Structure 1
């Protein structure tokens, strides 16, 4: 029996929950959560009301085991343990979020506030540099692609050519801030 594509999108995610007492699969919980959020529901109580309102239609669409849907509290418990990076990657793959020819991609590096190590009371502690990420934003659709972490030994200026090569896009316009307009970067 074939499953709906929204459930298949989450099949590769590893379920971090205990096996004992599990009634609903993680892909079913994530599919319901994603559909509820896409329908405009904010908060788990609203999601629970949405599931109750569309109970018959959701059972027909998703075909869960024993024709039972999880409650909002089950969705909440499942979501508390999900790896959000993997969930985001599955969503991006499902929705096929890729820049297309003619779109503008904005690139900007930012340091994550408070990500550096401060131990003033321990003089023997090695400090480490702050974490820097380069954000990639599709301007026309208002979508954010996966951030690129800059190596600790370099900076945004040297990381951008690598990121652009990784994206390997043709016909896309890249927009940078002034720090990336240095003559030495242009070949």
Structure 2
């Protein structure tokens, strides 16, 4: 069973060796094909790569993906892994209906892991969730995705948050397969949970930077009582369409079983 909490499939989470394969066709070969064996014309990896290339080229619908595939040059179809057919060795592209069936049935968790960038060597990993635009239908709620992104802006993986729950339930499942030793994991106030912090430090040997707001009233009140005014503030300006002046104050708290640095950012 895949670790994707919203969909049950036939595989477990990909290994580190599978995620690091340079050949994308070899990576995607680890995914189970949702189609019946009888009647397959194209391998799974070719269908998925066609959809990815078409979307990168601007396709925004299944029909547009099929149109991009029909007009793709012969050498492009060769690179995508389509097999030659007939006496003339013509490579026939995948149809829009096949792309629709494959993308609707393929394992989303395994696909995200295999196409993601491993966090090895990065200083930090940011965890955040967003609702996928246009994913809502008359019968299903919009898909809410929780993603992990490296400091360089490369997506590590993402999971769909199960309906009627929130991002908290998917936090550990998202990061579980990856080696986070020495990595700083950042997240918003929703993930400022005792269980998350303990799991990152004890199970993953990682560091964390979590925001404290009113959702943790006791912790928030305790932090506000600290002697922030006695600390020297480091100020810096940033311009992103407007001028901002921010300050950072840092405190080191002892006597809690281990040294705990706490910072205040305004």
Range class of TM-score, shorter chain: 0.5 to 0.7
- The corresponding residue for 1:176 is 210
Check 1:64–1:32 CA distance in 2 against 1; reply closer, same or farther (3 A cut): same
Q: CA deviation at 1:62?
A: 2.7
CA–CA distance in structure 2, aligned partners of residues 39 and 134 of structure 1: 25
Structure whose residues are more often helix by fraction:
1
| Equivalent residues of 1:107, 1:137 under 8 A apart | yes
Q: CA deviation at 1:138?
A: 3.4
Q: Which has the greater radius of gyration?
A: 2
Unaligned stretches of 5+ in structure 1?
110-132
Check 1:135–1:20 CA distance in 2 against 1; reply closer, same or farther (3 A cut): closer
Matches within 5 A, 1:94-133: 96-98=117-119, 100-101=121-122, 103-107=123-127
Secondary structure of 2:119's match? coil
1:52 aligns with 2:70: yes
Greater relative contact order (CA < 8 Å, ≥ 6 in sequence): 1
1:74 aligns with 2:102: no
CA-based RMSD of the aligned residues comes to 3.7
Unaligned stretches of 5+ in structure 2?
1-21, 86-90, 130-144, 160-169, 174-191, 224-252, 260-266
Q: CA deviation at 1:99?
A: 6.0
Secondary structure of 1:14's match? coil
Q: CA deviation at 1:108?
A: 6.3
CA–CA distance in structure 1, aligned partners of residues 172 and 151 of structure 2: 22
1:6-27: CA deviation from partner (whole Å, max 9, x where unpaired): 2222101111211121111111
Equivalent in 53, 58, 79 of residue 35 of structure 1: 53
How many aligned positions are there?
A: 152
CA–CA distance in structure 2, aligned partners of residues 28 and 134 of structure 1: 27
Check 1:63–1:141 CA distance in 2 against 1; reply closer, same or farther (3 A cut): closer
Range 8-17 or range 160-169, more displaced: 160-169
Structure whose residues are more often strand by fraction:
2
- The corresponding residue for 2:110 is 86
Task: Please list every run of at least 4 consecutive aligned residues from structure 1 whose deviation after the TM superposition is greater than 6 angstroms.
Answer: 180-183
| Equivalent residues of 2:127, 2:146 under 8 A apart | yes
